[in-house]
Amino acid sequence: MFYFFLSLILLLLLVLAYNIGVYYFTRVPHVRSKNSRLEKIFANLDIKKTDNVYELGCGTAEFLFLAEKYQAAKLYGYELSPLICWYGQIKASLRKSRVKIKCQDFFKVDLKDADIVYLFLVNNVVQKAWQKIKKEVKPGTLVIVLNDEIEGLEAEKVLKFPQTEAKVSFYRV
């Protein structure tokens, strides 16, 4: 019994150290987009079969797996936490999905063919990502941001969630 609890505590400490380590690099905690948020986003989103969809800081890429149901053309996710990235990749492979998850810093990725970009990050990283996005993507690209706002840019559409502070903003480049 003693060794069981000792192993459990060691495991928890390892997980904690791992998460702190990843946070040190990304400055963004891993929090998954809630299904209720994603459902409302997709109810308000018109995805075409020619659209290339990017999820920057994709975690387990739930946004992309949903976009795949709408037969989007390319589905790319980038995630810096190796364990979360591998989990997403295994999930994609088990589902025989077209979603491509890369264990890579999205700030080092070329976004020029993106039609839709999804962001759920933290405010300062959203602003930094926007500086990159606006330089690289073509006019007309849709940028969807969960909870944060892009400073100085008017949203085309904002979805609210009753009894919460959550919101989703749709921006057109």
Ligand X SMILES: C[S@@+](CC[C@H](N)C(=O)[O-])C[C@H]1O[C@@H](n2cnc3c(N)ncnc32)[C@H](O)[C@@H]1O
Q: Is 115 in the site for ligand X (CB under 6 A)?
A: no
Q: Is 76 in the site for ligand X (CB under 6 A)?
A: no
Choose one: 43-51, 74-82, 87-95, 163-171; the region binding ligand X (CB under 6 A): 74-82
Helix (H) or strand (E) holding 68: helix 62-69
Q: Is 88 in the site for ligand X (CB under 6 A)?
A: no
Q: Is 111 in the site for ligand X (CB under 6 A)?
A: no
Q: Is 106 in the site for ligand X (CB under 6 A)?
A: yes
Find the shortest distance in angstroms from Cβ 49 to ligand X.
Answer: 23
Q: Is 92 in the site for ligand X (CB under 6 A)?
A: no
Strand runs labelled E in 103-141: 116-119
- Whose tokens are 């659209």? That residue is 51
| φ and ψ at residue 97, rounded to 5 degrees | -85, 155
53 and 64 Cβ atoms separated by less than 8 Å = yes
- For residues 152 and 138, give the distance between their C-alpha atoms in angstroms, rounded to a whole number: 19
Interacting residues with ligand X (CB under 6 A): 22, 26, 28, 30-33, 55, 57-59, 62-63, 78-81, 84, 105-107, 120-121
